[in-house]
């Protein structure tokens, strides 16, 4: 009964289906008639004296009319069927389908990090590929994430939320809702997306299932995984001002607040294991992007997890470390590009990545008085023998202490392309025309 009622609904007035089905049927009839006459005309005993038309020109016209009718009907039926499911997708259906198909065939990228830096990579790359996996730190213990972590015992959802939103449609109302932060009251300071992910984790029984559901709701271009599913705390040995010996500080939010010099970071417990899906994504990747983001509190908490660095060493993917544009107070003050790389080597050893991508533009406009740009590697520095250092203008015009997502994506894809084709110029900069990459 229900199936019959559903079929009857297709005959309701105003839906806009019947006319195009009739036109589609007429097109099929015209093509079938034309083909039938063509087959008959090829028979040696055929005579066209009693048929309405007999010449090959007439047959071709009938078949051509049928093709036109089917094309018109198919185009309009596609609009009728697809329109209810794509209310926030501007442009022609063929453009949307073509873009979707092109992204589905894009390179497989894994981006590792957290904070505000990693979403910049995702926002830029999602225009080129849907095969993106974001691997995010879960060591955050401050703000809304820290409160939910302590009160509900869930993985901190803040960085997971930011990366899901970065892979979603920026203009979507649902994305804006996901990022909405309550200004006051009992929910003051909480982001709606944090509460949503925590609630989904409770309903579905796991944070990984919650991330899948959240990604489907926002129709994201890619996947977001935690680096581990275990409860992990970040610790650091920090040398405070006017003190001779370094002190142990526990908690990600307290490390940068100490405003000292970070000498070493570690995880507690030290033997937490990586999320298996994250490990597999690294193995399967074409490109792995490490950073940008807070060096000690966003990037290293991922790389110190058992299995992540080992997989990075084993994978055949092309691995790029993206250095920050500006130094970060309480973390990387006075560190140049080489200082960032040496800090990584101190914690995870050498050979984890092949290329260092760094900024070489230092604009004064919009920079403000507190911006301190990360300076390039000094000439003859030891890391020049171990890594391929590539420089680009990566600054955002409005906030030049941050990466411009599109500039960053173009640079990553250009480096990857030059590596595959061997098209490098004499100074090591990829000999690639940027106009070939979509923005």
Bridge-based pairing of strands 233-239 and 247-250 is: antiparallel
In the numeric block, which tokens belong to residue 423?
A: 């098209």
The CATH superfamily label for domain 102-436 reads CofD-like domains (3.40.50.10680)
Q: Answer for the pair 265, 301: CB distance below 8 angstroms, yes or no.
A: yes
In the numeric block, which tokens belong to residue 22?
A: 């009739």
The residues, any chain, with a CB within 8 Å of residue 234's CB and separated by 6 or more, are 139, 141, 250, 251, 252, 255, 265, 266, 267, 268, 297, 301
Structure confidence at residue 190 (pLDDT): 92
Q: Answer for the pair 291, 322: CB distance below 8 angstroms, yes or no.
A: yes
Structure confidence at residue 427 (pLDDT): 42
* All structural domains of the chain with their residue ranges: 2-82, 102-436
The number of CA neighbours under 13 Å toward the Cβ of 134 is 38
Q: Residue 290 has what DSSP assignment? A: E
Distance in angstroms (rounded) separating the CA atoms of residues 37 and 32: 9
Distance in angstroms (rounded) separating the CA atoms of residues 330 and 136: 21
pTM of the model: 0.78
Structure confidence at residue 243 (pLDDT): 84
The residues, any chain, with a CB within 8 Å of residue 245's CB and separated by 6 or more, are 239
Cis peptide bond N-terminal to 292, omega within 30: yes
- Residues in the chain with pLDDT < 70? 1-16, 45-55, 79-103, 171, 423-439
Structure confidence at residue 420 (pLDDT): 75
The residues, any chain, with a CB within 8 Å of residue 132's CB and separated by 6 or more, are 109, 110, 111, 122, 125, 126, 167, 221, 222, 223
């Amino acid at each position: 009964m229900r199936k019959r009622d559903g079929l009857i609904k297709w005959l309701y007035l105003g839906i806009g289906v019947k006319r195009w089905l009739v036109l589609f049927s007429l097109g099929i009839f015209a093509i079938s008639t034309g083909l039938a006459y063509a087959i008959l005309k090829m028979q040696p005993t055929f005579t066209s004296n009693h048929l309405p038309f007999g010449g090959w020109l007439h047959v071709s016209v009938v078949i051509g009319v049928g093709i036109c009718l089917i094309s018109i009907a198919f185009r309009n039926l596609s609009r009728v069927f697809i329109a209810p499911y794509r209310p926030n997708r501007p442009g022609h259906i063929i453009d949307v389908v073509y873009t979707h198909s092109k992204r589905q065939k894009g390179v497989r990228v894994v981006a590792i990090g957290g904070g505000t830096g990693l979403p910049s990579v995702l926002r830029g790359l999602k225009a080129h590929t849907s095969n993106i996996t974001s691997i995010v730190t879960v060591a955050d213990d401050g703000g809304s994430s820290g409160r939910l972590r302590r009160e509900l015992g869930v993985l901190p959802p803040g960085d997971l939320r930011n990366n899901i939103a970065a892979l979603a449609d920026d203009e979507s109302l649902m994305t804006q809702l996901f990022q909405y932060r309550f200004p006051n009251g009992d929910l003051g300071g909480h982001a709606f997306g944090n509460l949503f992910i925590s609630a989904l984790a409770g309903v579905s029984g796991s944070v990984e299932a919650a991330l899948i559901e959240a990604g489907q709701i926002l129709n994201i271009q890619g996947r977001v995984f935690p680096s581990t599913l275990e409860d992990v705390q970040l610790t650091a040995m920090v040398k405070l001002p006017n003190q001779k010996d370094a002190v142990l500080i526990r908690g990600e939010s307290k490390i940068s607040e100490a405003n000292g010099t970070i000498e070493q970071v570690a995880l507690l417990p030290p033997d937490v294991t990586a999320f298996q899906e994250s490990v597999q994504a690294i193995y399967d990747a074409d490109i792995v992007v490490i950073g940008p983001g807070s060096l000690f509190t966003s990037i290293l908490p991922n790389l110190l997890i058992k299995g992540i660095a080992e997989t990075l060493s084993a994978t055949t993917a092309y691995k790029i470390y993206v250095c920050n544009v500006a130094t970060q107070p309480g973390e990387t003050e006075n560190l140049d590009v080489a200082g960032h790389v040496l800090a990584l080597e101190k914690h995870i050893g050498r050979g984890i990545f092949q290329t260092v991508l760094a900024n070489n533009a230092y604009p004064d406009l919009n920079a403000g008085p507190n911006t301190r740009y990360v300076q390039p590697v000094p000439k003859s520095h030891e890391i020049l023998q171990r890594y391929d250092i590539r420089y680009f203008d990566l600054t955002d015009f409005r906030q030049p202490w941050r990466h411009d997502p599109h500039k960053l994506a173009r640079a990553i894809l250009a480096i990857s392309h030059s590596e595959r084709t061997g098209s490098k110029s004499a100074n090591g900069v990829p000999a690639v025309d940027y106009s070939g990459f979509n923005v």
